[in-house]
Structure 1
Amino acid sequence: MFRLERGVTGFWGKNDPEPPRVDVRMFRGGCHAAALAAGGTVESIDEAVYPRGYHTAVVATPENRAGILCHAGYPLIAFVADSAASWLEPRMFRDSPAWAEAFAERGFTVMGRELLESPLTAVDTSALTKAEWRQIHGWKATTVGETVFNGWD
């Protein structure tokens, strides 16, 4: 069962330690490796900026363009339509392309569309804090993707 770790929402209580951070350089390296594997190019990479809790990139391949999200705290990768890379719209997640394996080879967890669209009840949420649950309920998040890749403030 997939586990959502403490801080994956980007929130924590005043007495909780800050969650980890994924250096945008690590994500950049993964994007370039993935683009090379796809025979494509990296069009853009943007570091997470508050309130968005994820880095973004767009990779162009001979077949199409793919938006890539990287959680700012944990090495979690999701694919979206290229136009949705900056601000995620509900249900914009896409299936991972074959070249997503380049991210896994660099230590990232590539989250498939099925997992991202799953209800929170389908994953292990035991590590989430009370502060995170307040945000989840306040923002009415119901899926893994909405919880992990958010722009809540």
Structure 2
Amino acid sequence: MASDKNVAFTLARGATGFFHPKEGPPLPETDQRKFHAALYAAARAARGRVGEIEEHTYPRTFHTATVIDVTGVHFLLCHVHHPWVAFTQERRDWYTEEFVAPPRWAHVFADFGFAVLDRPQLMLPLSAVDTSVLTPDDWREVRSYGITTLGGVLFNAWD
């Protein structure tokens, strides 16, 4: 864990998607209706349309969707347990460094209560992240997959 004065992001319980009943109550769930409402509002703001929406399936920690506008296809991720949204270059099952800057219309997600994570945040080294909520099982997966960034921890498909 980074010292408090150096922490740029604090992980919340469930950030990795792992849950063991002995660890406490079930993990929170991101409100899918709110995500869909934000997605359609963002598409309107982009003067585009919603493309594909794919709900989370185990072991992925995120929902995926696309917004299509005059500039092309924008791939976005929504964390399944926390209201975090990120943008990527392409659709994949898990991510490490493929994040891109949010488009101008991404602020719409913040209007719906989501935190829009930008590329510099997602590329933060774990030394700049408060990782105190990570369990030994979480750390085993982080090390096994060679994850070194915040984005890699949040948007994964480890099993």
Question: Partners of 1:55 and 1:86 in 2: how far apart?
Answer: 11
Please state if 1:10 is matched with 2:33.
no
Q: 1:41 aligns with which of 25, 36, 49?
A: 49
What are structure 1's unaligned runs of at least 5 residues?
none
Question: Partners of 1:102 and 1:27 in 2: how far apart?
Answer: 11
After TM superposition, the structure 1 = structure 2 runs for residues 124-135 of structure 1, keeping only pairs within 5 Å, are: 124-135=130-141
Name the CA shift for 1:109/1:142 in 2 (closer, same or farther; >3 Å). same
Normalised to the residue count of structure 1, the TM-score between the two structures is 0.92
Residue matched to 1:70: 78
What are structure 2's unaligned runs of at least 5 residues?
1-7
Question: Partners of 2:12 and 2:139 in 1: how far apart?
Answer: 12
Structure 1 residue 2, shift from structure 2 partner: 1.4
Q: 1:95 aligns with which of 90, 101, 125?
A: 101
Name the CA shift for 1:49/1:5 in 2 (closer, same or farther; >3 Å). same
What whole-Å deviation, never above 9, does each CA across 1:56-113 have from its counterpart, x for those lacking one? 00100111210000000000000012xx224245321000111010000000001100
Question: Partners of 2:57 and 2:34 in 1: how far apart?
Answer: 17
Amino acid at match of 1:126: S
Question: Partners of 2:85 and 2:58 in 1: how far apart?
Answer: 19
Backbone CA RMSD of aligned residues: 1.4
Q: 1:29 aligns with which of 37, 45, 49?
A: 37
Secondary structure of the corresponding residue to residue 48 of structure 1: coil
Question: Partners of 1:12 and 1:89 in 2: how far apart?
Answer: 20
Structure 1 stretch 88-97 or stretch 30-39: which is displaced more? 88-97
Amino acid at match of 1:73: H
| Sequence identity percentage | 41
Question: Partners of 1:144 and 1:89 in 2: how far apart?
Answer: 10
Residue matched to 2:4: none
Structure 1 stretch 54-63 or stretch 84-93: which is displaced more? 84-93
Q: How many residues align?
A: 151
Question: Partners of 1:131 and 1:35 in 2: how far apart?
Answer: 38
Q: Residue 115 of structure 1 contacts residue 144 of structure 1 at CA under 8 Å; is this kept in 2?
A: yes
